[in-house]
Amino acid sequence: MTSPPMTSMQRVLTALSHREADRVPWFLLVTIHGARELGLSIKEYFSKPEYLAEGQLRMRSRYGHDCLYGFSYAAAEAEAFGSETIFFDDGPPNAGPPIIVSANDIRTMELPRVSQVPSLVRVLEAQALMKERVGGDAPIIGVVISPFSLPIMQLGFERYLEVLEQAPDLFARLMAVNEAFCVEWANAQLAAGATAICYFDPMASSTIVTPEQYRLMGMPVAQRTLAQINGPTATHLASGRGLTIIDDIVRTGTAVVGVSVTEDLAELKTACRGRLAVLGNLNGVEMRRWSVAEAEAAVKEAISMAGSGGGFILSDNHGEIPWQVPEEVLMAIGDAVRRWGNYPLSWVDQHG
């Protein structure tokens, strides 16, 4: 007798335990596409938790992916520290000018309270609404920007690098404030309804800092922060390379790593096998120009390289699908997962 299909939650938990589920789970990390679905501008879409929740629910109903993405926009965390957010008609909101104009301002930084930041409260309310609707059938993914990466918005990249390299006392103070904020924000999302926390840490990637710099500065921050988060976490390098620091990421205690399309997925899966689940690594930028056939080929290739044995969730490599990706491409990705992702992957065993 054929077993009934797993729920998304069952499918994901099986993959995270490094076993094969009924099929490869896939996460469609859409943030702004709900605005189009609801006929709203992007700015208006982010103005009410009801819109965020309904957008996510409709996207999952349309495409059949295995999560709800309880995330609005990264600049919301910069807003907590006093930054403005700039909205666009065809892309995600961005943070305005850095609010720390002098490195010495770090000494007087104040810790914001999540409950007093409207953009964060809206996310919490949206996650609670998602939880009411989906129950335990699918994971709700919350998001935090790592304390090590948030200063890119707080100070600007160049000024942050100067602090990183030349002012260890200011760096320590900056991390202390950001770690406390990150932990409060992550745990508030888990309390609201999030199943797990995606810890976005592009600054950790070997694209930006050397592995030695990460081990000296970024990894201790991650270890301290993740240890205080009251739920499972996934570390996402937001398109950055991470193969050379896989062993270090394992030591932070995270369960999943989001990997880059610029690295070999099969090699990453081998490095992570049994220790970290792999999330990735479809090229979201190229996805804008894919045909239906190209979308299917990309899915098939990713599954062939990383699907066997579980421990793999198909997704894009950045953590956000661009506004310009056509609906038929997203549909084709979902169709391809359902065609080629069913376990056992006999076609991979037969054809390599």
Distances (CA, A) of 310 to 9, 141, 265, 276, 303: 14, 20, 14, 11, 10
CATH number for the domain running over 8-351: 3.20.20.210
- Please give the average per-residue pLDDT across 227-235, as a whole number: 98
Which residues, listed in sequence order, are joined to residue 234 by a DSSP beta bridge? 198, 256
For residue 242, which phi and psi values (nearest 5 degrees)?
A: -145, 0
Nearest CA among 220, 283, 223 for reference residue 254 = 223
Phi, psi (5° rounding) for residue 233? -130, 155
What per-residue confidence (pLDDT) applies to 4? 81
pLDDT tens digits for range 238-248: 999 999 999 99
The domain limits of the chain are 8-351
Average pLDDT over residues 235-262: 97
Q: Residue 352 above 70 pLDDT?
A: no
Q: What's the one-letter identity of residue 281?
A: N
How far, in Å, CA of 284 to CA of 261, rounded?
A: 9
- pLDDT tens readout for residues 203-225: 999 999 999 999 999 999 999 99
For residue 299, pLDDT beyond 70: yes
Q: Is 293 exposed, middle or buried (0-12, 13-18, 19+ CB in 10 A)?
A: exposed
Range from 102-106, 270-274, 295-299 carrying the lowest mean pLDDT: 102-106
Average pLDDT (93-112) is: 94
Peptide linkage before 178 cis (omega within 30 of 0): no
Query: How far is the C-alpha of 116 from the C-alpha of 134, rounded, in Å?
Result: 27
What's the Cα-to-Cα distance from 212 to each of 163, 209, 222, 247, rounded to whole Å? 17, 8, 15, 13
How much is the mean pLDDT over the chain?
A: 96
Answer yes or no: are the C-beta atoms of 309 and 15 closer than 8 Å: no
Strand, helix or coil at 68?
strand
- In angstroms, rounded to a whole number, what is the distance separating the alpha carbons of residues 287 and 283? 6
Residue 184 CA to residue 186 CA, distance in Å, equals 6
> Where does the chain have alpha helices with state H?
8-16, 33-38, 42-45, 49-63, 75-80, 118-134, 151-155, 157-166, 168-192, 211-213, 219-226, 246-251, 265-272, 284-287, 292-306, 327-340, 346-351
Residue 98 CB neighbours (<10 A): 20
| Cα dihedral across residues 286, 287, 289, 290: positive or negative | positive
- DSSP character for 106? G
pLDDT for res 192: 98
User: Which tokens hold the place of 240?
Assistant: 């950055």
* Residue 340: HSE in the Cβ half-sphere, 13 Å Cα cutoff: 26
Kindly give the pairing relationship between strand 256-258 and strand 233-236: parallel
Model confidence pLDDT, tens digit, residues 42-96: 999 999 999 999 999 999 999 999 999 999 999 999 999 999 999 999 999 999 9
